[in-house]
Amino acid sequence: MSLFLTLLGNGIALLLVAAVSFHAYFLYSYTYWSKKGVPYLEPKFPYGNCTSLFVKGKGYPVGLSDSCYKKIREKVWKVGGFFTIARPTLLVLDPEYVRDILIKIAQVSIFFVGGFEASSSTMTFALYELAKHPELQDRLRDEIMTVLNDKKELTYRVHQRNEVPSASYNCPPTTYIWQLSSKGVETLRLYPVVSCLQRKYIKDYTLKNTNMVVEKGVTCVIPVFSIQRDPELFKDPLIFDPDRFSPENRNNIVPYSNLPFGDGPRNCIGLRFAYMQTKVGIIETIRRFKLTISPSTKMPIQIDTDLLILQPRETLYLQAEPI
């Protein structure tokens, strides 16, 4: 009996030591950003800043990055640290820092999922917005029919020669939605394929014009979804407005504030394929059907924050009337 009690006591003591050590490790980890001089959101043991993710079931990555983005934006920080459990993560808000990270100093940890799912998600939102805005849909259809004329097939040659208005840099504002520039697609601004980008620092880096040092190996998160819906960067950000990217307005866009495919030499490798696939799908649909919102679609639509690729939470139903 005494042996059992001794073993039980030793076991409890070991558990207590392990628990204290575990807690001490987390507390030490939570000092990381203060030592580097980087402003940060106060973490809570044991989830860091991810309590909403584990306890409340808030979606990742949209829910977590957007929540941290809003808190850091309220504090008027250009960057802010947070903790994914005990791992330090840097959230970047300032477009200047976004440029440096995407182009100069970080190694890509590709967050984009290629293939057909990304393009189909983009087409879903694009057709939904065109169905909501029949005047844009009609003007786009008129241009498509004018350019294609009697041609029944949209060939790769026609597409590459920019004979289709949606692929032209000089098309009217309403059809400028589908131009090839990675900064100019309003659908992808409002509904970016992926809500955030991740980069990993491959060397120590001092943030420009600060004394804040980020060490090699730290993960940096660029909250694309939140940046592209920030009212300080885009007027009326929740409104679908292709005129933002018209030839006369596109120079007003803050550089590196519209990042549906990232930017710089390490941007999404599938960018051109995704654009071409999406445009062909839109053109072939709009030239054949008049789209309207079905009564079965729940309005306003809700974004599913639990998925990597941005998708509506409920099915979007459209009515297609053959032309």
Sequence ranges of the binding site for heme: 268
Give 114's DSSP letter: -
Helix (H) or strand (E) holding 200, with range, is strand 197-201
Give 314's DSSP letter: S
Greatest CA span in the chain, whole angstroms?
A: 96
Return the amino acid letter for 164: V
Annotated binding site: 268
Tokens of 211: 């004394």
Taking alpha carbons only, the member of 281, 288, 312 closest to residue 299 is 312
Helix (H) or strand (E) holding 220, with range, is strand 219-222
Per-residue DSSP letters for 169-235? TTS-GGGGGG-S-TT--HHHHHS-SBS-EEEEESS-EEPTTS--EE-TT-EEEE-HHHHTT-TTTSS
